[in-house]
Amino acid sequence: MTLQLDTDGVAAGIRFLPSPNCDERPAGAALELLVVHNISLPPGEFGGDGIIDLFMNRLDPSAHPYYATIAQLRVSAHFLVRRDGELIQFVPCAKRAWHAGESAWRGRSRCNDFSVGVELEGADDQPFADIQYAELAPLITALQSAYGALEIVGHSDIAPARKTDPGPCFDWQRLRRLIGK
């Protein structure tokens, strides 16, 4: 599948669920970084609507004990790659998604200002599905075609004191092979 992004950075042909958890990028902020994350809600469980509900501010705190601890968060990512390979977009790439939190890369703080966030439905201690790599690679190719050579890092690289994702089960070498790097 060849993805195409419009001038706002919305991919054609995939589900787009506009998250309210975004804002304008600072003037002159160019996209330079792609941050790979993992997420599962409830933790370690896959396939439900928890991630979507979190990014859309409709997570029911009574639906699971863990949800009560995070329902107040206002977070998002540009893209989510589900375990079954479905690719969902929440924020146009031209806007700033709220995925990185307190972060820094190569001496620059506020990574949300200059990055695209891609969540993989997964957990640090479980291998990712083959189809997720098969969907992530063309997404990265489309983003780099639209925005130039983005540096690709994990959430743990930009927030090492706080985050561990995408975790040791993420196969960086496999991803590099798939994108020809």
- Does the pLDDT of residue 119 top 90, yes or no? yes
User: Counting beta carbons within 10 angstroms of the beta carbon of residue 58, is it exposed (0 to 12), middle (13 to 18) or buried (19 or more)?
Assistant: exposed
- Does the pLDDT of residue 18 top 80, yes or no? yes
- Tens-digit pLDDT profile for residues 80-93: 999 999 999 999 99
Mean of all residue pLDDT scores within the chain: 97
Stated as kind and residue range, the H or E segment containing 44 is none
Domains, the chain, with CATH or none: 15-41+74-179 (3.40.80.10)
- Distance CA(41)–CA(50), nearest Å, equals 5
Residue 83's pLDDT is 98
Query: Which residue, 3, 8, 4, 32, is CA-closest to 18?
Result: 8
- Does the pLDDT of residue 118 top 80, yes or no? yes
Mean pLDDT of 51-60: 98
- Distance CA(58)–CA(56), nearest Å, equals 6
Mean pLDDT of 147-160: 97
Residue with tokens 């060849």: 2
Handedness of CA 25, 30, 74, 131 (dihedral sign): positive
Residue 1's pLDDT is 61
High-pLDDT (> 70) share of the chain, %: 99
Angle between helical axes of 172-179 and 130-147 (0-180°, round to 10): 50
Q: How many residues does the chain have?
A: 181
Cβ neighbours of residue 181 closer than 8 Å, sequence gap 6 or more = none
Residue 95 is classified by DSSP as E
High-pLDDT (> 90) share of the chain, %: 98
Give first-to-last CA distance, the chain, whole Å.
Answer: 19
| Residue 2 pLDDT class (50, 70, 90 cuts) | confident
Is 32 annotated in the active site?
no
Residue 77's pLDDT is 98
- Tens-digit pLDDT profile for residues 27-53: 999 999 999 999 999 999 999 999 999
Residue 181's pLDDT is 80
- Does the pLDDT of residue 161 top 80, yes or no? yes
Cα angle for residues 28, 149, 132 (degrees, 5° grid): 115
Which one of 24, 86, 119, 151 is the catalytic residue? 119
